[in-house]
Amino acid sequence: MKEDLVLPAPREATADSSGDPLLVVEGLTKHFPVKGGFPIRRTVGAVQAVDGIDLTVHVGESFGLVGESGCGKSTTGRLITRLLEPTAGKISYRGKDITHASRKDLAPIRSEIQMIFQDPYSSLNPRQTVGKIISGPMEINGIEPTGGREARVRELLEIVGLNPEHYNRFPHEFSGGQRQRIGVARALALEPKLIVADEPVSALDVSIQAQVVNLLRKVQDELGIAFLFIAHDLAVVRHFSQRVAVMYLGKVIEVGDRESIYTRPRHPYTHALLSAVPEVNLAEETETGGRERIRLAGDVPSPISPPSGCRFRTRCWKAQDKCATEEPPLVRISGNHDGHLTACHFPEDPTIEARDEDIVLDPALAALEEGLNDD
Amino acid sequence: MTSPIDIEGGGTSVVVDGDQQPKSKPEEAKQLEGRSPGQLMWIRFKRDRTGVISAYVVIFFFVVGLAAPLIAKLYGKDPYTVFADERPELFDSAGVPLQPNGGISGEFWFGLEPGNGYDVFTKLLYGIRNSLMISLAVTVATVLTGIVLGVAAGYLGGKPDQLISRVIDFLLAFPSQLFFIASMPVVVSLFVSPRDETPVYVRVVALIAVQWVLGWMSLARILRGTTLALREREFIEAAKVSGASPVRIIRREILPNVVTPILVQSTYMLPNFVTAEAGLSFLGVGIVEPTPDWGQMFSKASTELVMQNDITYMFFPGISMIIFIVAFNLLGDSVRDAFDPKTAR
């Protein structure tokens, strides 16, 4: 098992969609019950955190999952690692159905799916030494590497760029970035095939973010581990992932390879999301005419009672009657690349060039800009 | 639970290594040895002068209690000898010691008890011993129950949590002192028929049982809350993702993190149990004559014969108990401060 992990996975096999998929998620749904009522508490509704999403992650591939806060990204990650019990749908790992597998059933594949957590301050047990934290998963799964666990832990510390002499230190003696590296080392300890990284850098300083992302890339390239990379930072995902899915309110609304999503997006929400990324390079903007500018109004609707039909219609500038009655299927729209699927009745043009007129739906922002133009 | 002795050894060696051998190469690995939260707590505790002095006082009392038979042997008397019969020349016709201050002399250091003429010094030694042993037993029982039920409620959640929490609420609603007084004779009569002489061990077991039943709730409630908060931490999820069993998660991930409230609470609980036990013996439902007991000595001191003739008798159990309780409570404060330096007093 160790040998095939040490070899770098062939990049070609991972980039395209051929070969047996590692992880297949079909119609995955998670509804959290909302209890209420007096005197007898009963279920009065459900937070539809994740509502029927389909994903496929191939061997050695890095799959990005983006969306704004509260859209169900993290819930999806926790469902796949089976920290949460799915309400409906199917998760299969290498063809084996693990949707409702018990802890004992999961035991053989536990070592193959690992997780990196968001908050480095709460993901390490403050009472255990670094050595104990990293060797814990090996101990649980009864893995006895050649040369002993301690040697393996020191090796892992070196892989993630920490001093192997830190073996006997405690988490409170490390900075946020170092702690996150310890978290990465713990995830690598079992030589997994798939790592679910739940916003692994969003709690870190920008300068440290780059270090950790590059570490994850290095790990992915050298060990050929597939990643499900959950983030709200589009730039980080672009840097890290070969394929990207965009989520909105518990649904995947667009999925495709990196180039398609970032340069030829079709769904209005993807356009809005991309245009919200702050641009540093002003010179380039003026040369090429700049990027499109879309500013949405209002908040994401409540996932307890999501809008009918297309969930984005309440904030969409192209919404029509059809959007309220008919839910758009996630399909390939003509002009899209292979594997680029969009769920929209009225897709946008596949470009992110500046439009003739900015779309500013936020009335306050619009009024402000009006005033500026008058001056 | 990490014992303070372990921490002592680890803590000091780390300080010594860090200070004295910063240059020597072979020691480098040792130098990088981290300080655990427990070691840091021990270092902070050692800086707290009040805490250290209180700790010595408390340890002194426990040593006295443990070594009571030895001290009594060296001293040459035991608390059961009726000196009113053995040495009648020391007492008047009412059984009051003839010499002033309750018969304090080079032979009887703390004097003699009016009435039966027990030796007060050995009686106090054995009284401390018995009181501390009972209170320690109660503390151990309540802490263990509190850990099991509190951590179970917090970790399992849902129905078990509801059940345990309601039981805690129900028991906390009891007026505990009244319940102790009322239930002691009942519990004793469960074991012994009222016509027979009650053996001492039955009273001891009853005292422990009654205080245990109404003593575990506060710790259990605190541990439930702490566990509930810990359960949502990501390192628990990390252990679950690795496939850890619930038993392992509780033992390896949760218990080490609830040591702080356990230690702090038990240092607050033990002196409370000592006073509660003394109170019960004072009221006559705890340990009774001739078994020596701290609280029962107060009871004796308040009888008419002793009150009117020998006011010094009260002095020894009273002062020793005040010193013990104050020192133990100060120790509890210091332990809390050492574990939680951010909370201002």
Write out the two tokens for A292: 């499109």
Question: What pairing do the DSSP bridges indicate for beta strands A62-66 and A359-360?
Answer: unpaired
Binning pLDDT at 50, 70 and 90, where does residue B8 land?
A: very low
Write out the two tokens for B66: 């443990």
pLDDT digits (tens, 9 = 90+) for A195-219: 999 999 888 888 888 888 899 998 8
User: Residues 6 or more apart from B301 whose CB is under 8 A from it?
Assistant: B307, B313, B314, B317, B318
Residue B102 has a pLDDT of 81
Lowest mean pLDDT among A3-17, B90-104, B114-128: A3-17
Looking at the fold, whether B139 and B42 belong to one and the same domain comes out as no
- Separation between Cα atoms, residue A337 and residue A347, nearest integer Å: 14
Binning pLDDT at 50, 70 and 90, where does residue A364 land?
A: confident
pLDDT digits (tens, 9 = 90+) for B40-89: 888 889 999 999 999 999 999 999 999 999 999 998 888 888 888 888 88
Residue B21 has a pLDDT of 38
**Closest partner residue to A122 among B29, B38, B234, by Cβ?**
B234
Give B42 to chain A, closest Cα distance, Å.
14
Chain A contacts to B (CB-CB under 8 A): 78, 81, 83, 103, 106-107, 110-111, 113-115, 117-119, 122-130, 133, 136-137, 140-141, 163, 165-170, 172-173, 183, 186, 190
Please state, rounded to an integer, the average pLDDT across all residues of chain A.
85
Residue B61 has a pLDDT of 95
Torsion over CA of B40, B43, B46 and B49, rounded to 10 degrees?
Answer: -80
Mapped onto helix, strand or coil, the DSSP state of residue A245 is strand
User: Residues 6 or more apart from B315 whose CB is under 8 A from it?
Assistant: none
Does residue B88 form part of some domain?
Answer: no
- CB spacing of A125 vs B242 below 8 angstroms: no
- CB spacing of A170 vs B35 below 8 angstroms: yes
- CB spacing of B245 vs A106 below 8 angstroms: no
Looking at the fold, whether B289 and B140 belong to one and the same domain comes out as yes
**Closest partner residue to A127 among B237, B240, B256, by Cβ?**
B256
Residue B4 pLDDT > 60 = no
Which residues of chain B make contact with A136, given a CB cutoff of 8 A?
A: 239, 242, 244, 252
Q: How far apart are the first and last CA of chain B?
A: 26
Does residue B63 form part of some domain?
Answer: no
- Separation between Cα atoms, residue B303 and residue B293, nearest integer Å: 16
What is the number of CB-based contacts under 8 A between chain A and chain B? 88
Least Cα distance to B220 among B272, B155, B136 occurs for B155
The pLDDT of A102-115, averaged and rounded, is 88
Residue A17 pLDDT > 70 = no
CB B283 within 8 A of CB B181: yes
Looking at the fold, whether B322 and B232 belong to one and the same domain comes out as yes
Which residues of chain B make contact with A106, given a CB cutoff of 8 A?
A: 243
The pLDDT of A285-308, averaged and rounded, is 78
- Separation between Cα atoms, residue A34 and residue A41, nearest integer Å: 10
- Separation between Cα atoms, residue B220 and residue A204, nearest integer Å: 37
**Closest partner residue to A165 among B29, B35, B243, by Cβ?**
B29
pLDDT digits (tens, 9 = 90+) for B280-296: 998 888 888 888 998 88
Q: Could you tell me the CA-to-CA distances from B162 to A304, B156, B235, B319, B324 in Å, in that order? A: 26, 10, 25, 45, 39
Question: What pairing do the DSSP bridges indicate for beta strands A113-116 and A194-198?
Answer: parallel
Which residues of chain B make contact with A122, given a CB cutoff of 8 A?
A: 233-235
Torsion over CA of A111, A117, A120 and A122, rounded to 10 degrees?
Answer: -90
Looking at the fold, whether B38 and B142 belong to one and the same domain comes out as no
Does residue B177 form part of some domain?
Answer: yes
pTM confidence score = 0.81
Chain B residue whose CA is closest to A113: B241
Q: Could you tell me the CA-to-CA distances from A155 to A170, A231, A349, B3 in Å, in that order? A: 18, 28, 50, 32
User: Residues 6 or more apart from A195 whose CB is under 8 A from it?
Assistant: A113, A114, A115, A116, A187, A225, A226, A227, A228
Which residues of chain A make contact with B243, given a CB cutoff of 8 A?
A: 103, 106-107, 110-111, 137, 140-141
Mapped onto helix, strand or coil, the DSSP state of residue A285 is helix
- Separation between Cα atoms, residue A174 and residue A181, nearest integer Å: 10
Give B144 to chain A, closest Cα distance, Å.
21
- Domain containing residue B37: 1-17+33-47
Interface test with chain B among A78, A127, A157, by most B beta carbons within 10 Å: A127
Number of domains in chain B: 2
The pLDDT of A161-189, averaged and rounded, is 91
Interface test with chain A among B28, B241, B254, B263, by most A beta carbons within 10 Å: B241
Kindly report the backbone phi and psi dihedral angles of residue A9, in degrees, each rounded to the nearest multiple of 5, phi listed first: -70, 140
Q: Give the rounded distance of the alpha carbon of A7 from its chain centre.
A: 26
User: Residues 6 or more apart from A373 whose CB is under 8 A from it?
Assistant: none
Mapped onto helix, strand or coil, the DSSP state of residue A30 is strand
Which residues of chain A make contact with B252, given a CB cutoff of 8 A?
A: 128, 136
The label of the residue with tokens 């009888």 reads B303
The pLDDT of A321-335, averaged and rounded, is 88
Cis peptide leading into residue B290 (ω within 30°): yes
Binning pLDDT at 50, 70 and 90, where does residue A288 land?
A: low
Does residue B79 form part of some domain?
Answer: no
Counting residues of chain B whose pLDDT is more than 90, the rounded percentage is 45
Helix or strand run (H / E) with residue B62: helix B49-66
**Closest partner residue to B34 among A78, A129, A163, by Cβ?**
A129
Strand ordering across the sheet containing A251-257:
A113-116, A194-198, A226-231, A62-66, A243-248, A251-257, A341-342, A331-332
Counting residues of chain B whose pLDDT is more than 70, the rounded percentage is 89
pLDDT digits (tens, 9 = 90+) for B217-237: 999 999 999 999 999 899 999
Lowest mean pLDDT among A152-156, A297-301, B274-278: A297-301
Please state, rounded to an integer, the average pLDDT across all residues of chain B.
84
Counting residues of chain A whose pLDDT is more than 70, the rounded percentage is 91
Task: Dihedral sign for Cα A220, A221, A225, A227, please.
Answer: positive
- CB spacing of A140 vs B242 below 8 angstroms: yes
CB A186 within 8 A of CB A180: no
ipTM of model over 0.85: no
Amino acid occupying residue A178: Q
Least Cα distance to B111 among B77, B144, B158, B135 occurs for B77
Question: What pairing do the DSSP bridges indicate for beta strands A243-248 and A359-360?
Answer: unpaired
Give B275 to chain A, closest Cα distance, Å.
35
- Separation between Cα atoms, residue B295 and residue B305, nearest integer Å: 18
Least Cα distance to B240 among A125, A215, A369 occurs for A125
Residue B18 pLDDT > 60 = no
- Separation between Cα atoms, residue A253 and residue A271, nearest integer Å: 12
Which residues of chain A make contact with B239, given a CB cutoff of 8 A?
A: 136, 140
Of B276 and A375, the structure prediction assigns the larger pLDDT to: B276
Residue B197 has a pLDDT of 81
- CB spacing of B239 vs A165 below 8 angstroms: no
Alpha helix ranges (H) inside chain A? 2-6, 11-15, 73-80, 103-110, 130-140, 148-159, 176-188, 206-223, 234-240, 258-263, 268-275, 282-288, 321-325, 363-374
Does residue B80 form part of some domain?
Answer: no
Least Cα distance to A243 among A231, A229, A233 occurs for A229
**Closest partner residue to A169 among B32, B240, B256, by Cβ?**
B32
Chain A residue whose CA is closest to B252: A128
Give B33 to chain A, closest Cα distance, Å.
5
Residue B343 has a pLDDT of 61
Rg (C-alpha) for chain A, rounded Å, is 22
Which residues of chain B make contact with A137, given a CB cutoff of 8 A?
A: 242-243
- CB spacing of A126 vs B37 below 8 angstroms: yes
Kindly report the backbone phi and psi dihedral angles of residue A275, in degrees, each rounded to the nearest multiple of 5, phi listed first: -75, -15
- CB spacing of A136 vs B245 below 8 angstroms: no
Which residues of chain B make contact with A170, given a CB cutoff of 8 A?
A: 34-37
CATH assignment at residue B321:
1.10.3720.10
Least Cα distance to A201 among A223, A234, A226 occurs for A234
Give B145 to chain A, closest Cα distance, Å.
23
Least Cα distance to A115 among B235, B259, B138, B118 occurs for B235
Residue A156 pLDDT > 70 = yes
Binning pLDDT at 50, 70 and 90, where does residue A358 land?
A: confident
- Separation between Cα atoms, residue A209 and residue A200, nearest integer Å: 9
- Domain positions in chain A are 2-38+45-248, 266-374
Residue A81 pLDDT > 50 = yes
Mapped onto helix, strand or coil, the DSSP state of residue B231 is helix
User: Residues 6 or more apart from B97 whose CB is under 8 A from it?
Assistant: B90, B91, B103, B111, B112, B114, B117, B310
User: Residues 6 or more apart from A256 whose CB is under 8 A from it?
Assistant: A243, A244, A336, A337, A339, A340, A341, A342
The label of the residue with tokens 């405690």 reads A170
Q: Give the fold, CATH level 3, of A2-38+45-248.
A: Rossmann fold (3.40.50)
- Separation between Cα atoms, residue B92 and residue A265, nearest integer Å: 109
Which residues of chain A make contact with B36, given a CB cutoff of 8 A?
A: 127, 129, 170
Chain A residue whose CA is closest to B28: A165
Binning pLDDT at 50, 70 and 90, where does residue A36 land?
A: confident
Residue A20 has a pLDDT of 79
Chain A residue whose CA is closest to B244: A140
The pLDDT of B145-159, averaged and rounded, is 93
